Amino acid sequence: MLTKTALLLLSYCLIPAIAVAEVSIEKKLVNQINNQLDESQDLLEKLVNINSGTLNFAGVKQVGQVLSGKFDSIGFTTEWVEGNGFGRAGHLVASYDSVINPHAPKILMIGHLDTVFAEDDDFQNISVVGKNRLAGPGITDMKGGDVIIFAALQALHNLGLLEQLNIKVVMTGDEESSGRPLEKSKKALVDAAIWADVALGFEDADGDVNTAVTARRGSVGWTLTASGKAAHSSQIFSDAVGYGAIFELARILNGFREQLSNTPLLSFNPGLIAGGTRLSDKGSSTMESFGKRNVVAQTAIVKGGLRAVSPEQLVNTQSAMQQIVVQHLALTNATLSFDEGYPPMQQTQGNVNLLAMYSKVSVDLGYKPVTAVNPRNAGAADISFAADHVAMAIDGLGLMGTGGHTKDEVADMTTFAQNIHKTAILLYRLSLANNQVQKH
């Protein structure tokens, strides 16, 4: 059902022409962004050259300190949320309250400070790799998005337009490897989303500047453990010995494939497996096993991931997987457990309407229309923890490029100014909508 909020925003999106005064202001915003572009790129280079692998707490905090100073300079109140309670460096929260507009929309802007590149990685610095192409650790995922957030807000501030908005910026320090428990590690983000009307995420999504994310699949881990009766292999399949742990594991995995692999927008992947007479689980990514060809396997473990497009799909899939697990082969047993994970960002009419508004901004600026990313091509992200709490949300507004999470991570710098322009104009237009975008 279309809510009043969604209908009002949709009507705003479909206005055929922007008032002349608004066009003039928007041109000034674009000029302001262009004039400060060298400063924005300098900030990007500075941030990329600070290693902030998730477990490099000092580096994550240093990136947060640099950005905190920037937000302080344009009138934000900043806070560092310590991560001691969830085993990570912490998060940066920057807030700005409108003093002139009691009906100003409340907008949450989401970034993250950490990257996948560890402190001792040899991929450490930004470099020029071609015309309008810069390589660097985390340049697109997502220090480029962080700078786009700040640069858009800086331009609004410099033209006296920031006063028409209520803004919270949350830049997490553990997006690439979430702290635990999630209830604590995502609390700052969820609290900001509960406060907000609109959520904007600045990941690079599928790397296409002409797309944005209106839906993301959730992601949870799972562990399947099977056991059997150890015996000489000559007795396998007998009434006294049964099938052993590895055959039980194989039965279950094949059952998952047969029953669930054709479910639209669902994926599940067994990424790590081990089995034998003895097995030692070393953590999320390492297991050691001992076994012999002539001994029936006593134990086997597989670890995998599950991605679903809605809470209902997730629950139904988990139930179906458990039903497959309990149909044990003779003299075997198995258990399936699920970890904490990222919830889905569901497709909503509010998200669709916000994308329409963003696309219109793009077209009005002379760029191409922006369409929705296929949820299958959008991995889990922090906005998933916020989306259910706001009237509308989109993601993928950051710096575009290729090779994310690899040493070939390269930014397309032609998208840098473009997405700062689009962000600033979108925020300005949201400020004109006033209570039309409020969820309460």
Closest CA to 178 of 61, 55, 344, 50: 55
Look up the CATH superfamily of 4-216+345-437.
Answer: Zn peptidases (3.40.630.10)
pLDDT band at 250 (very low <50, low <70, confident <90, very high): very high
What per-residue confidence (pLDDT) applies to 1? 34
Decide if pLDDT at 436 tops 70.
no
Q: Residue 283's pLDDT is what?
A: 78
> Per the structure block, which two tokens stand in for 109?
């802007």
Specify the 3-state DSSP secondary structure of 168. Answer: strand
For 31-165, strand residue ranges (E) read 77-82, 90-96, 106-112, 127-130, 133-135
Region 217-240: mean pLDDT is 97
Confidence of residue 361 (pLDDT cuts 50, 70, 90): very high
What confidence category does residue 8 fall into, taking pLDDT thresholds of 50, 70 and 90?
very low
Instruction: Give me the pLDDT at residue 380, please.
Output: 82
Does the pLDDT value for residue 6 go beyond 90? no
pLDDT digits (tens, 9 = 90+) for 394-412: 999 999 999 999 999 999 9
Specify the pLDDT at position 20: 59
Between 134-138, 223-227, 282-286, 403-407, the lowest mean confidence (pLDDT) is in 282-286
pLDDT, one tens digit per residue, over 35-88 is: 999 999 999 999 999 999 999 999 999 999 999 999 999 999 999 999 999 999
CA 33 to the chain's CA centroid: 26
Confidence of residue 438 (pLDDT cuts 50, 70, 90): low
Would you put residue 75 in left (φ > 0), alpha (ψ -120 to 50) or beta?
left
Quick one: which of 349, 371, 350, 351 has its CA closest to 360?
371
- Enumerate the H helices of 143-202 as residue ranges: 144-158, 182-185, 187-195
The per-residue b/e assignment along 308-323, b for 16 or more CB within 10 angstroms, e otherwise, is bbbeebbeebbeebee
Average pLDDT over every residue of 6-20: 46
Report the distance separating Cα 324 and Cα 264, nearest Å.
19
- In whole angstroms, give the CA distance from residue 187 to residue 86: 10
Mean pLDDT, residues 339-355: 95
Boundaries of every domain in the chain:
4-216+345-437, 224-342
What kind and span of H or E run contains 306? strand 299-308
**CA-based max dimension of the chain:** 86
pLDDT at 19: 54
Give tens-digit pLDDT for 23-37.
Answer: 799 999 999 999 999
Work out the pLDDT band at 112, boundaries 50, 70, 90. Answer: very high
Nearest to 218 by CA among 350, 91, 352, 309: 309
CATH for 224-342, options being 3.30.70.360, 3.40.630.40, 3.30.70.870, 3.40.50.300: 3.30.70.360
pLDDT at 3 over 90: no
DSSP state of 217: -
Residues 378 and 361: beta-carbon distance below 8 Å = no
At residue 395, φ and ψ (nearest 5 deg) are: -135, 175
pLDDT tens by residue, 180-210: 999 999 999 999 999 999 999 999 999 999 9
Answer yes or no: is pLDDT of 16 > 50: no
pTM given for the model: 0.89
Burial of 24: CB neighbours in 10 Å, binned 0-12, 13-18, 19+? exposed
Q: Report the C-alpha gap between 275 and 291 in whole angstroms.
A: 7
- pLDDT at position 285 is 84
Q: Does pLDDT of 18 surpass 50? A: no
Contact of 235 with 305, CB cutoff 8 Å: no
Percentage of the residues of the chain whose pLDDT score is greater than 90: 88
pLDDT mean over 363-378: 94
* Average confidence score pLDDT of the chain: 93
Q: Do residues 430 and 9 touch, judged by C-beta distance below 8 A? A: no
Distance of CA 338 to the CA centre of its chain: 20
